[in-house]
Copies of this chain bind each other. A is one copy, B any other.
Amino acid sequence: MQLGRIVGTVVATRRDPATHAWSLRMVETLNVYNQPDGSYVVAVDVVGAGVGEVVMITRGSAARQTDLTASRPCDAVIMGIVDTWEVDDQTQYVK
């Protein structure tokens, strides 16, 4: 999994009908020190996360292992909202 921050939303009304229930979030991925790493992913939110929150992202076929995404063309989900993480005994982020 990767860490990321939700920085916005994506609107795409004309899309595969099987995906109409999805909330699409723009997620900027983060390095271990809570800094943007210059990349992003558009992910389906399955936990009710909002803009600004730090989240955990799962990619690939694993992104279809949720009720909302099963058997649908999804390659990235937000599957957790991060409370905190630490690296070498230093807290890098607290919600």
Contact (Cβ within 8 A) B10 A3: yes
- Give A3 to B41 CA distance when docked, in angstroms: 9
Q: How many angstroms from the CA of A40 to the CA of B82 in the assembled complex?
A: 16
Interface size for chain A: under 10, 10 to 19, 20 to 34, or 35 or more residues?
Answer: 35 or more
Q: How many copies does the complex hold?
A: 5
Closest CB in chain B relative to A87 CB, distance in Å: 4
Chain B neighbourhood of A14, CB < 8 A = 47, 80-81, 83
Tell me if A66 is interfacial: C-beta within 8 Å of chain B. Answer: yes
A-to-B contact residues, CB < 8 Å = 1-3, 7-16, 18-19, 24, 26, 28, 31-32, 40-43, 46-47, 56, 58-66, 71-77, 79-89, 92
